Amino acid sequence: MDEKADIRPLPRIGDQAPAFEAETTWGRLALEDFKDRWLILFSHPADFTPVCTTEFLAFQEIHQPLKDLGADLLGLSVDSVTAHIAWLRNIEEKFGVKIPFPIIADSDRKVAGLYGMIMPGESKTETSRCVFVIDPKGTLRAMIYYPMTTGRNLQEILRLVKALQTTDKNGVATPANWQPGDWVIMPPPKTMEAAEQRLQQGLDCKDWYFCKKKL
Amino acid sequence: MACIQPDGTLSRSGEIILLALHSPGTPEEVARETRIDLFMVRGAMREFMQARYVEKEKHLFRLTPKGLAALEGVDDKNRQGETA
């Protein structure tokens, strides 16, 4: 196969998330079915593998907190629906945990290709641990990539969604290690006049470009 | 959780979604009434439309005669369940 022919531009932050329709463990679903809500689309390398199993147990733990934020989870790997079902039943049997979200069976790697979930340097066939945060308008807002060896920090995904929603609601940015309730960052002023005004607004400013406030 | 199973019968979630369309509604209304995820209801509507169990008029989905016929069996089954 000509590998060059398969090269396509990967989606970037700020792009419209690539549309898809795919078989899942909950029937056929399309990206448009998730519109008006946040979507966490994530991939894992393979069913019946230990790191992925720990991740799914952890995804189950953040499922309800995400739902409370208006966000849905949608998993993906190149395994078949049958393999997904067998694995999910095994997780329920061995760990007593029901996985409450659908998983795409991307056997033809169509969705993985659209989102760049396969990292040929790591594996030419399996998807890496990718996370795509898509907002209610269908815009890609954040992407996280982890290698196959390293399980993700699911609390970070929850924190990320909360941070993005705080940004959207208040027009602010969030600092390193931000948690809800912490100070937020005012966007830097764009003019000299705004910089002067900023210093007179009673904000907590280290300097004209570094002002924070409580929400 | 596809709504129409390979043997032509409805899945449980398919029954619930179709029953909710006894009065025409939007996917949002059906999701609220059935407490089924909105994305799942939207996927179900697409599947039911393709199978011609429901039709869309403006923004409302309504049962077709074929959808009503499918529910007759469900209603019978539910009634048997109630008396069993």
Whole-angstrom Cα distance, residue A91 to residue A81? 15
Is A52 in the active site?
A: yes
Helices (H) and strands (E) in chain A — how many of each?
A: 5, 10
- Enter the pTM of the model: 0.90
A72 contacts in chain B (CB < 8 Å): 37, 39
- Does B42 reach chain A within 8 Å, measured CB to CB? yes
Q: Are A58 and A130 in a shared domain?
A: yes
Cα of B47 to nearest chain A Cα, Å? 8
- Indicate yes or no: CB of A26 within 8 angstroms of CB of B1: yes
**Tens of pLDDT, residues A116-129:** 999 999 999 999 99
Whole-angstrom Cα distance, residue B38 to residue A133? 18
Nearest Cα to B45, choosing from B72, B5, B17, B74?
Answer: B17
- Does B46 reach chain A within 8 Å, measured CB to CB? yes
Q: Is residue A80 part of a domain?
A: yes
For residue A187, what is the domain's CATH number?
3.30.1020.10
Nearest Cα to A32, choosing from B49, B3, B27?
Answer: B27
User: CB contacts < 8 Å between A and B, how many?
Assistant: 37
**Tens of pLDDT, residues B2-54:** 888 888 889 999 999 999 999 999 999 999 999 999 999 999 999 999 999 99
For residue A42, what is the domain's CATH number?
3.40.30.10
For residue B79, what is the domain's CATH number?
1.10.10.10
Q: Is residue A165 part of a domain?
A: no
Are A99 and A88 spatial neighbours (Cβ–Cβ below 8 Å)? yes
Which of B32, B39, B45, B48 would you mutate first to test chain A, the one with the most A CBs within 10 A? B39
ipTM above 0.90, yes or no: no
Q: Which domain holds residue A85?
A: 3-153
**Tens of pLDDT, residues A139-152:** 999 999 999 999 99
Mean pLDDT calculated for residue range A194-210: 84
